[in-house]
Amino acid sequence: MIEIRFHGRGGQGAVTSVELLALAAINEGKFAMGFPSFGPERRGAPVMAFCRVDDKHIRLRCKILNPDVVVVLDPSLLRIQNPPADLKENGIIVLNTNKTPAEIRREYGYKHTLVLVDANRIAREVLGVPIVNTTMLGALLKATNVVPVDSLDHPLKERFGPLAVKNFNALKVAFEQSIIEERRP
């Protein structure tokens, strides 16, 4: 089982991200759960969303406490909390940032594998708005092979209708442009 935790701010679409990912995995014949951090939605406040993917029925119905991957939609969150604090030792940090891996490591001291992408820029260019939840799925798929990129096509169409194409394009650009730097020993 792979456990993925999204960190964003209320309104940035973290819940949509995990739902799309879960739907893609289920369409691929896998089992998945996508769910929000339960509670009142507060626009702008830090929120989490969770996704589990496995080859068999998933019985864990609790928060993800030791994720395999954390995805941070909003770089400003790094200054007020520590999303990878409970990340598994061989876990992966996926960040929306315009900084280099060296800069991120120097600033936050992360030892984990980093997957970095400037999702704000990509979303502005491709979608025309700085909403990065679908864009960041591209970086996540670069970081893990939890589902194939094409598997997001159908869930995006179901969710966004005519806007799905732009979202899928942003996802693919992010997949291409994501930089991976392996874990530091």
91 touches 69 (CB < 8 A): yes
3-state secondary structure of 38: coil
65 contacts other proteins (rule: CB under 8 A) = yes
Beta strands in 68-124 (DSSP E): 69-72, 92-96, 113-117
Examine residue 34 and tell whether it contacts other proteins (CB under 8 A): yes
DSSP state of 50: E
Choose which of 19, 74, 118, 153 interacts with other proteins (CB under 8 A). 19
**Could you say whether residue 164 binds other proteins (CB under 8 A)?**
no
Assess 148 for contact with other proteins (CB under 8 A): no
Smallest Cα–Cα separation from 1: which of 86, 47, 64, 74?
64
Applying CB under 8 A, among 55, 62, 129, 145 the residue interacting with other proteins is 62
Specify the stretch interacting with other proteins by CB under 8 A; choose among 5-13, 14-22, 105-113, 176-184.
Answer: 14-22
Selected range binding other proteins among 19-27, 96-104, 111-119, 172-180, rule: CB under 8 A = 19-27
- Beta-strand ranges (E) seen in 79-136 are 92-96, 113-117
Closest separation in Å from C-beta 108 to other proteins: 27
- For residue 177, what are its two tokens? 């442009």
